[in-house]
Structure 1
Amino acid sequence: MEDDLDISDILATSQHDSDEEELTAAQVLEKLEDAWQNEKLAPDLLECKSEIVSCVMVLIGEMEKNIQSAIRTKAKSNLEVSIHRMELDRVQFILRSYLRCRLNKIEIHGPVLLEREKSRGEDEPPRLSPEEFAFAKEMSANFENHMRSVVLNQMPRIMQKIDLPTTVHPPNLNHYVFLKVKKREEGVLLEEDTDDRTSDRVDLAEGSQFLISYKPIAALVQNGSVSLL
């Protein structure tokens, strides 16, 4: 796999840019690592990165073909093949860990995430991929069936109505996280419900690091202004 592999036909740009963005394989893998790091450390489910996942899966296929070709033609030494195999294993590990992390959040907060996905605005990016949405629906249905068969049968009929989003705990957005500022942000509001808001705003200088509640900076994680540590 060459480092300057052009995958612009696979990876679309952000919604704010109508031109195609040409990314190298190294840049795609860097985006995957950023998404993985943020997803592991964020208490909430982040925006799905389906385009990045699709690109990485294509790259993994290319890496596997290149390794098999090198073995077959003996174009590379055993040491070089081993190094390429280690890099392939590393990429596969990151991708699987990223997807498992998202599925774990869906298993815990599925009904809440489904309700939020159904009510999001048209201009809001989806948090769940189509496959994750189907998985969340199946998990929620199984949980509801379990509640009805095991718990609610022991209760009077008048108490047997289930509201799943209120039954399951939502993500804890007040969880504290470490972050590093990638792009300067001014006047970030730390406490939304305070009367004296001027004293609860802070400027985030590029390169600075903070320990802060997740909720005020959730949007900054989504748009890439900060990364979690």
Structure 2
Amino acid sequence: MLSLFEEPSEYPVNILPYDGTVQYYGKVFSREMSESYYVYLLGEIPWENDEAVIFGKLITTKRKVAWFGDLPFEYTYSQRTKRAIAWTPELLELKKRCEEISGESYNSCLLNLYHDGSEGMAYHSDAEKDLKKHGAIASLTFGAERKFAFKHKTTKEKVELWLENGSLLVMKGTTQDHWLHRLPPTTRVKTPRINLTFRTIEE
């Protein structure tokens, strides 16, 4: 019988050596389901180019984003504010799957579309004032596999892993206090990656 889901490890390993918890569950959707969600997300999400204020200058990125939530939450990062739009049935399915696996609850989701390996994300922490302090952030990947890197803010120790198509990574606890993370650019990836980061906004 064809399973819609992959069965994640019952006890995911914390990939960080100290000062935080990052659990990688590997593939939690079958190849067929991952492809189905990828096609849906690529074609049906109202993607917009992201904006950021860097050194006082407004920059428009090639990467595209979308912001969904239980309510029209406002979320501010890089000095730009976004207002959440209502969930689609497909996004609610994905949220439920992340909640079942991680044992956490989420009320919003920031989606990122990286068209190819030339688009990435610099080192940063998800510690904006709108976010629940020490709350869990569940990150789903569909499409191209990409390297994901962590760097400790004090010791500068690095931890890297490959995020697979249909996989789930959960960051929680004091991770954002002590670690930066990034999606490094690469010339080897020629196809899109879609990343969904389910999180909790404090009301």
Fold agreement, TM-score > 0.5: no
Which one has a larger percent strand, Structure 1 or Structure 2? 2
Per the shorter chain, which TM-score range?
A: under 0.3
Which has the larger Rg? 1
TM-score (norm 2): 0.23
Q: Which has the higher contact order (CA 8 A, sep 6+)?
A: 2
TM-score (norm 1): 0.21
Which one has a larger percent helix, Structure 1 or Structure 2? 1
